[in-house]
Amino acid sequence: MSSTAVKKQRFDYIDQFRGFVGILMLLGHSSYYFNSIWINLDPFDPIFPDWGQFALRYVGYLCAPGFLMMNGAMVWWSYHRRVQKGTADWTARWHLIQRGIFLVLVQMIWVNSSWGGFRVFNPFHFGVISSIGFSMILLTLIINLRWYWQLAIALAILVIHPFLLQIPYDPDVMWSQVLMQTFVDSGGFNKYPVLPWFALAILGSVMAHGWLLFWKSDKQRILMGLLIAGTAFSVATVLRLGRGFGTLTNFSDFGSFSFFLDQKYPPSLYMNLWFFGAVVLMVTLFIAINMLSPKILKVFSIPGKVPLFFYAVHLAILGVFVKRLGLFYREGGVLESLIGMAVMLVIMLPLCKWFFGLKRRNKNYFIQMI
């Protein structure tokens, strides 16, 4: 395989997977706005009436790990590409830090308000986008470390995090709520605390070493991907079956709903390992599919090339039209959520294409940041 071809495919499968995760996120948001289960569903302690509703919610669990890991991979790639092109070390890092800060601001200024269709301006709240932003900023600090040091840091965070969760704090005291929920725990202020998600971003950076540098052929990427995903699934399964350290909720039987559904907010060690494995497996699958039929996954590249635009705009459209104007708000079920997703894709795909073109032509600072 020529180096040009390798380079091209690197971006293809990562863009495609990122687009796939974005579309899964759209499905999750479509469910949030159209699906009546959300009238009562508590994301911190979910219960499901049937398999369809469980599956609809569970596929969305891949999104945050997918985004964080792909972000970690791209931070690593972007830094090294810039440095290779001659950019000074801290200039390359500063570019990424700026983007991290930009993501935190997008969360506070745009995303928080878009959920409700911009009815209320609510900047003092964090979420998945700010968590990605913080992770990006932190990742730039260790981006030069060798992959095994990065891996060690990620694993150390994942192992220490369950102990940090035992730190008592009063969520009614603002400073302790902000401190704990920004970094460790989940709650009303932030569902995506930085530490566990930063660990996944580091793992994304570690995987980027293999995907984009060490493994020279798709066959090797597939074999290594399967091996790593298999190992992650195995360790996660052993942890879950042990019902002790690394898991936070009980389950009935191996392979049941509850077996796969440990705590997501914040994620248990089992969930982080499981979804790390799932992301690696899915990326591997995308590489394999691209080998067989490169056209099948092309559609995912469209949102995958402008993931932040896709996220911010689809959420705003749903927030304004469904929540604020009350268009079928939480009146449907699984089918209506799928229809909602399809309709939103019809709207979003041309918009993404247009914005990608604009981004290539226009070198405006903010457009480049999105």
Partner 1 sequence: MKKIKAKTKFLVLIPALLLLLAGCSSRIDGPVVGDDATITYPAKQSEDISATISFCRRIDKKTGEGIGEGLVFSMIESAVLYAVTDFENQYKHLANGLMFHYDWIGPNGKSLFCKQIEVPPGDSTSSITSSISISPEKREAGEYNFKLYYFRELIAEKSFTLLPELLVTPEVAKELAPEITLYRKVSKKTGKLIGEGSIFKMKSKRKVRAAIEIKNRFAFGEQELMFHIEWIGPGGESIYRKRYDFYPVDSTSIIESSISISPDKRLAGDYKFQLLLFNKLIAEQTFELHE
- Residues in contact with partner 1 by CB under 8 A are 36, 39-40, 42, 45-51, 54-55, 243, 249-253, 255-261, 289, 292-293
In the complex, least distance from residue 138 CB atom to partner 1, rounded to whole angstroms: 33
Residue 193's alpha-carbon distances to 197, 240, 274, in angstroms, are 7, 22, 18
Distance (Å, rounded) from C-alpha 29 to C-alpha 330? 11
Question: Looking at beta carbons only, is 94 or 328 nearer to partner 1?
Answer: 328
In the complex, least distance from residue 252 CB atom to partner 1, rounded to whole angstroms: 4
Cβ neighbours for 79, distance < 8 A, ≥ 6 positions apart = 92, 93, 96, 140, 143
Question: Looking at beta carbons only, is 12 or 74 nearer to partner 1?
Answer: 12
In the complex, least distance from residue 40 CB atom to partner 1, rounded to whole angstroms: 4
Nearest to 68 by CA among 208, 180, 247: 208
Question: Looking at beta carbons only, is 289 or 369 nearer to partner 1?
Answer: 289
In the complex, least distance from residue 26 CB atom to partner 1, rounded to whole angstroms: 20
Question: Looking at beta carbons only, is 33 or 251 nearer to partner 1?
Answer: 251
Question: Looking at beta carbons only, is 5 or 47 nearer to partner 1?
Answer: 47
In the complex, least distance from residue 258 CB atom to partner 1, rounded to whole angstroms: 4
Tokens of 173: 């005291």
- Supply angle C-alpha 34, 325, 114, rounded to 5: 75
In the complex, least distance from residue 23 CB atom to partner 1, rounded to whole angstroms: 16
CA 51 to chain centre: 24
Helix, coil or strand: residue 144 = coil
In the complex, least distance from residue 157 CB atom to partner 1, rounded to whole angstroms: 28
Question: Looking at beta carbons only, is 245 or 354 nearer to partner 1?
Answer: 245
Q: Provide the b/e sequence for 116-133 (b: ≥16 CB within 10 Å).
A: ebeeeeeeebbbbbbbbb
CA 84, 88, 90, 91 dihedral sign is negative
Distance (Å, rounded) from C-alpha 326 to C-alpha 357? 33
Q: How many CB atoms lie within 10 A of CB 311?
A: 24
Question: Looking at beta carbons only, is 50 or 170 nearer to partner 1?
Answer: 50
Which residue has tokens 């898991």? 247
In the complex, least distance from residue 253 CB atom to partner 1, rounded to whole angstroms: 7
Question: Looking at beta carbons only, is 183 or 329 nearer to partner 1?
Answer: 329
In degrees rounded to 5, what are phi and psi of residue 35?
A: -90, 125
